[in-house]
Structure 1
């Protein structure tokens, strides 16, 4: 309450922790760390009491483990990454954090992809890593959805700039597609027919490969995995001292797409239509996800309007001082309503008129 500016209130056998606009972002991590600290001290026999961060009464609840997926922490529904879960695990924490909304990290740096490509060049990324990086930024897909593509996924679409892929929660079923530029298409075909062919067991090119063959291979001819790819990604990020989780490429794609929608659409109806198309393309399970990005652009639009107001005020101030110099003896004319009589007026207008008395 003192250090993190939270409000705490009692509820049965536990406490609700409510963040305020002054609260830091890491309250949940602090509570989790504190809970783990006591757990470790108890296990090391350095703390002989029960864990004060655990609500002992909740442990007795028979529904405690309903809906739990082992080693699979769930993202909130607004993230649009998972299918809705009808049941949920009841937390056993003594302090329960509420009103802690998930927010993706909006990335508005227009030059971010080129910074990443440059980082890859510094650590000598192969053509494989270059293609994957381009497809992540241009297609807005998750890393695994790109890395695990098959030749059949690429052939399934009518366009050479597209490939079918799975979605998180679709269990490998191809339910969406990703799209990329013509330049990336050329890089992809060059990779498949040259670099990949070197590591293929029969040195096959695109036309000779079966549909179930993976697009990306390791140096020993096995299917490339996200774990193997991440080693190359992290190496490039560390080299250039960039802290960039690969999932942020997806947020960058949405931010850039939204910017294009707002800057090039001519009507509100066109904006709505194109936003719905983006929702369909991203295959978000929760359509409210886009509202977070809309809020970002609404704030940006407000800043533009506000800055324009500042510019206009500056010009008016200059005009005012210029008039004062030319009309030193003239008094300014102010029009004030001396009486409103029995007129019916809105409360906000009446409040404003009171300030003129």
Structure 2
């Protein structure tokens, strides 16, 4: 029975093929457009990002085969841009619960409360797919996810000046309107009111839940070391898996290793730091499990610097895809719904909590936060502000809970006091109204006013 959705499989290591991964359609047949897209992306971005792009497109391509319709026909990925745009718009409305509004030559997309948080990733992935198809000369029309009209309009606005038919004067002339620093996106589908929000992972026991999940499926030392490095260093999985022995040796401390970051094109521009317990496990892995897999059975001291730190069972460099198989198996077996990137968010949340607890002055807190920003290699320093908003909310919750506790205590105090007064009043003998009460004349005169 054919699967209900597109899926992928890795090429077995004992089979030679130009494809590292192959995509299959709902009829169990190889689907080369998405296969070529993945390999084109993998040559420009990290393997994990390429795989993420690919997975974002599987539901849409499945939907195309079953539900799409344009002028009475099923839409194919290679159709002209108008057909593709209609299909995407229908998919956004019917499957992703979005609201679509026409605007000039493009569409504004609004998410609703029923929309998944993957709308932006889907649109980015599909736009990237057609970019690859154009580059590989497999799609003969302009990219349907790009608003060509806005691109032309922007080019004209930045090259034409106030003088008709003549180019812009230089900025120093002061006769032209300044060019906006930030341009409107060239996407045909523009997602509005969409800001990136990091996940706040506040469960202090999360790493130990993951380690326990790994033990349940018999993780090797390799998988356990990588998992510990994820939580202890705050690095992306690819930044750990693809390092070399030389990256580890290059640091003065055994608790650190050098690595690349997203956008550094392989240049080692950052370092990772981890615990002494993880150092022991790492060295044990290198000198036992890794040594057995190494073709020359070399230990740490005899390995050359360009040797990969982690190896597969057949002695080849370990890859993200190979590692993710073990991670995914552990998460499914244990019932944990955790993707690897959540370890990074957990690290930042935990570090900030520590900064708040140990800093004694405002300057000390600022200094520690700046150190964290540099360590994480964030391009925008205000990324930390979104995490801090979480702690502001936590402080508010603590203060609010304290207020609730005080209110409950005061309410209890009031009820006990009222109960006591009623009891005292019930013990006072009743005054008979039939007995006249004599009041001093001066007091009677005051009571008249």
The bucket for the TM-score relative to the shorter chain is: 0.7 to 0.9
Matched residue, 1:118: 212
Q: CA deviation at 1:102?
A: 1.5
1:250-278 deviation line (CA, Å, top 9, x unaligned):
11111111111112222222221111111
Q: Which has the higher contact order (CA 8 A, sep 6+)?
A: 1
Q: Structure 2: which 5+ residue stretches go unaligned? A: 1-92, 127-143, 156-180, 426-449
Q: Is the CA contact (8 Å cut-off) linking 2:291 and 2:299 kept in structure 1?
A: yes
Match of 1:26 in 2: 116
SS in 2 for 1:174: coil
Q: 1:305 to 1:121 in 2, by over 3 A?
A: same
Q: How do residues 93-242 of structure 1 correspond to structure 2 at under 5 angstroms?
A: 93=189, 96-242=190-336
Task: Please give the TM-score of this superposition, normalised by the length of structure 2.
Answer: 0.58
Report how many residues are paired.
287
| 1:246 counterpart = 2:340 | yes
Confirm whether residue 92 of structure 1 aligns to residue 183 of structure 2.
no
Is the 2:120–2:191 Cα contact (8 Å) retained in structure 1? no
Show the counterpart of 2:18: none
User: Matches of 2:283 and 2:242 in 1, distance apart?
Assistant: 16
Structural RMSD (CA): 3.2
Partners of 1:153 and 1:30 lie apart in 2 by: 35
In the alignment, does 2:385 pair up with 1:291?
Answer: yes
Matched, 1:12 2:108: no
In the superposition, relative to structure 1, how do residues 247 and 28 fare at CA in structure 2: closer, same or farther (>3 Å)?
Answer: closer
- With normalisation by structure 1, the TM-score equals 0.72
Query: In structure 2, how many angstroms separate the alpha carbons of the residues matched to 1:27 and 1:281?
Result: 28
- Compared CA separation, residues 217 and 293, structure 1 to 2 (3 A): same
Residue 245 of structure 1: CA displacement? Answer: 1.1
Q: Which residue is equivalent to 1:336?
A: none
CA-to-partner distance for each residue in 1:9-43, whole Å, 9 max, x for gaps?
66434554556xx734527739969xx9xxxxxxx
Consecutive unaligned residues in structure 1, runs of 5 or more: 37-53, 67-84, 331-357
Whether the 8 Å contact between 1:64 and 1:91 is mirrored in structure 2 is: no
Q: Residue 31 and residue 149 in structure 1: after superposition, are their counterparts in 2 closer, same or farther (change >3 A)?
A: closer
- The alpha-carbon deviation at position 61 of structure 1 amounts to 4.6
